[in-house]
Structure formats: structure tokens, C-alpha cells
Chains A and B, each alone.
Chain A
Amino acid sequence: MAKLIAGMGTSHVPGLGAAMDNGKTQEAYWKGLFEGLEPLRQWHEANTPDVNIIVYNDHATEFSLDNYSTFTVGVGESFKPADEGWGPRQVPEMRGHPELAWHLIESVMADEFDLAVNASMDLDHGFTVPLSVAYGQPPEWPTAVVPVCVNVIQHPLPTALRCYKLGQAIGKAVASYPDDITVGIWGTGGLSHQLGGERVGVVNPEFDELFLDNLTKDPLANTRLSHTDFMREAGCEGVEMIMWNVMRGALGDSVEEVFRLYHIPVSATAYGAIILENR
């Protein structure tokens, strides 16, 4: 049977990808952050699963005002890095895992979640930056992926609790997958994040750190936050943090935090990363 080994949360700010793509990680602005990410990289090297289920959001790349599903699962054999306005990132294509993706869809739909299915979506920085954070710049990505896209930009959004419950259903789906494979699940986006308007650049470390603490101490507390709570406390786009609830929901009751990094700033935001091992 498949085994869900761990969850990772990470921000997915495009600047992080650009810093790696353009060889800037040793510059003063980035050096501290990338040094801080070293143990995370080492953990990933020692714990590479067969597949990563990556929960991310699209940024007006594949999905837009014309067609935006709340939850979309990618069933393609492979996925290309997207052109989101400055040409595609020069990173390897991503290898899908249609068999696990379809199993997940069947299992999660039976648990009352109505998912959209997509075979051809290109993946933007919301997806490719976390891969770069975890694996650096390999000639090909070391794992297959199952993309799970969540609408966190066009209201109404799924609630924080709905995201957690989706995670629980995903965890159940992985546990019932018949092949002996190892699986990781990533929640991406956030943390403090206000990208537009006169209040741009708002950062709330107390809120972010409490959210990170709650992932081990009281994960349900993070499901009781309203969208307005996130938007007021962590910035308008801080609401992306609800995607971390999908990751946390998929893990068991007992998890151990083995890595955490919190760093200000990355562009206009606060960077956060965490690794939670399933116990």
C-alpha cells in the first residue's frame, strides 16, 4: 500500500525561482534565506518519495475569470512550466502520475468532493518554485507529481476548513492506493502577503508563527480562521495559507516538525517553510 511520509509547507514567491534561475542565491539579499534552506534540501535528498502531491494555486495563468474551478487535479502524463508573462521558467518538465491522480479523484469524489480534472494545464511559479526550493536545479525532477490546484484568488474561495477536509480525503485516498509507493504532500503559498493596494507589504510575524505552531499543536485552530481573518492579519493574498491546511489535513493526527524557517523579506512577503513527518 502507498505510504504518505511527510508534508511540506513553503511559500512560492516568484522571486525565489528567479534568484535560483539567475544565479543570485549568493547575493546579500538572498544568501541568508538560501543558507537557511540547506537543511530542508538535505531532508528532501534523504527522503525523496516516488510522488509528491503538490497543492498550489494558479496565478491567472491557466485559470482566469473565464473558467475557474475551486479544486482541480492534474491527470496529465507530464506538465510544462508555464509562460506567465515573461516566458516559461527554464526548469525541467514535470512528470505526472496519472494512476495515482485518478485514484485520488475517484476516492475523493466518493468522499463528496467535486473536483475538476485537467490533463493539459501548464504549471506556473506557484508549482515550480516549491520544486526548486526542495530540489534545487537538477536536470530532471526526482519525483513524479500530482498537481492539486486550489482557487485562492477569485472569491468566493473554499473555506479553511473545507481545505483541511479535502486534505483528509486525500490522505485517505493515498492510504488506499494499492501500490507500494511513497508519497509526499506539499502545501504552498503565503505567508504574510499583501501584494496590492495602499497597504502593500504588510507583514504579521505573530500571526504567521502562530499558524506554523498550530500545524503541530492545534491544526483545527487554523481551520477556524475566516478568509477575512487571513486577509486582515496576513494581507489580502495571505489567504493563500489555506492551501497549507490541505497538506496538514492529509497527514495523521500525530506529526513531528523536523524543519522550520521563517524569513522576512522575500519581495513584499514573509517566507515560511515547514516539514512535518507523519508519525
Chain B
Amino acid sequence: MERDYDKIPGTYPLDSRTYRKGYHVNMFLMSLNKASCRDEFSKDERAYLDKFKMSEEQKLAVLERRYLDLLKLGANVYYAFKLVSFDRQPPQVMYGQMAEPRLTFDEFQQMMLEGGRPITGNRSVEEWNNG
């Protein structure tokens, strides 16, 4: 079923649709809260991922740290932070990678220092398509 927030561009809330699609990938991400799981993941990322009933596409997105693809495959950003933290990276690396167009860490920081992404023109998919 469509939701009224589907019209907001570039936005991936955790709802019943993403819940079901992303259940296993999010539970993998959540497992990284535990130091023992982080250790196991760091020893052999692929072997650890194979313990979860994730799709191959989801596993590859994790291994290659493709964050926007992860969101499209059902991961939620609050959960995705666990992977960024695992890599000991600042979140701006993930933000920049997801942004349209893609931004480096410095470019993302600069955008925020200049007041952030303006809301004008970023409220609806329609505005983006006409953009």
C-alpha cells in the first residue's frame, strides 16, 4: 500500500514494508552492538554474514559498504550506523556516500556548515523530477 510519505524524495523510513524486506539485514546490523559479534565479523565478514538469512544482494552491499543500496534493500539508517561505527568512521562518510549528488566527507561538512541542504525544492518527488 502506498503511504503519503512516499512522495518525499530520497527518504527511507522504517515501516511494515521495509521491516519485512530488511528484517535480517537489520538484525545483522543490530548484532554489531555486541563486542563478541564485532570480533567475529572482523575475523571473517563473509562467514559472519552467512549466519543471517540475508539476500546475496544485501550481503554484497554490506561487504562493499554501499549504504544507499543498503537502505534500498530494507536496512534502516539507525541500524546502518552500527556498521559505520564498526569501521570507526565518522557518520559524514556514510552521509556523503548516500547524498545526491555524492559528496566527500569535506563536501558534506561544508554543505552543513553552510546551513544544510535547503528544504526548498526538496519536499517532493515531483520537485525533484522537475528539478
> A-side interface residues toward B, CB under 8 Å?
15, 59-61, 64-66, 82-87, 153-156, 192, 194-207, 226-228, 231-233, 236-237, 264-265, 267-268, 270
Contacts and interface: CB of A to CB of B under 8 A. Distances in A.
Contacts of A86: 85, 88
B4 interface: yes
A195 B111 contact: no
Contact of A60 (B10, B29, B38, B108): B29
Nearest to B67: A196
A84 B117 contact: no
A85 B116 contact: no
Nearest to A122: B33
A270 B116 contact: yes
A239 to B, nearest CB: 8
Interface of B: 3-5, 7-16, 19, 23, 26-27, 29-30, 32-35, 38, 68, 71, 76-82, 85-86, 88, 91-92, 95, 98-100, 108, 111-113, 115-119, 122-124
B65 to A, nearest CB: 14
Nearest to B99: A200
Given A198-B9, A201-B108, 12 more contacts: A60-B29, A60-B79, A84-B33, A84-B82, A196-B11, A200-B98, A203-B115, A231-B13, A233-B119, A236-B77, A265-B115, A270-B116
Contacts of B16: 155
A60 B100 CA distance: 26
22 contacts: A60-B76, A64-B30, A65-B30, A83-B33, A85-B38, A154-B19, A155-B14, A196-B77, A197-B71, A198-B10, A199-B8, A202-B117, A202-B118, A202-B119, A203-B112, A228-B5, A232-B5, A236-B77, A264-B112, A265-B112, A265-B115, A268-B92
The 6 closest A-B pairs by CB, nearest first: A203-B116, A198-B10, A196-B77, A199-B10, A198-B100, A265-B112
B87 to A, nearest CB: 10
A231 B33 CA distance: 27
A267 B19 contact: no
B97 to A, nearest CB: 9
A176 to B, nearest CB: 36
Contact of A236 (B11, B82, B119): B11
A206 B120 CA distance: 11
Nearest to A154: B14
Among the interface residues B9, B10, B38, B116, which one has the most CB atoms of the partner chain A within 10 A? B116
Contacts of A198: 9-10, 68, 98-100
Contact of A153 (B9, B32, B34, B76): B76
A153 B68 CA distance: 18
Contacts of B115: 203, 205, 264-265
A218 B91 CA distance: 36
A85 B85 contact: yes
B26 A64 contact: yes
A194 B92 CA distance: 12
A15 B86 CA distance: 16
A124 B85 CA distance: 14
Contact of B86 (A85, A264, A265, A270): A85
Contact of B15 (A87, A155, A200, A232): A155
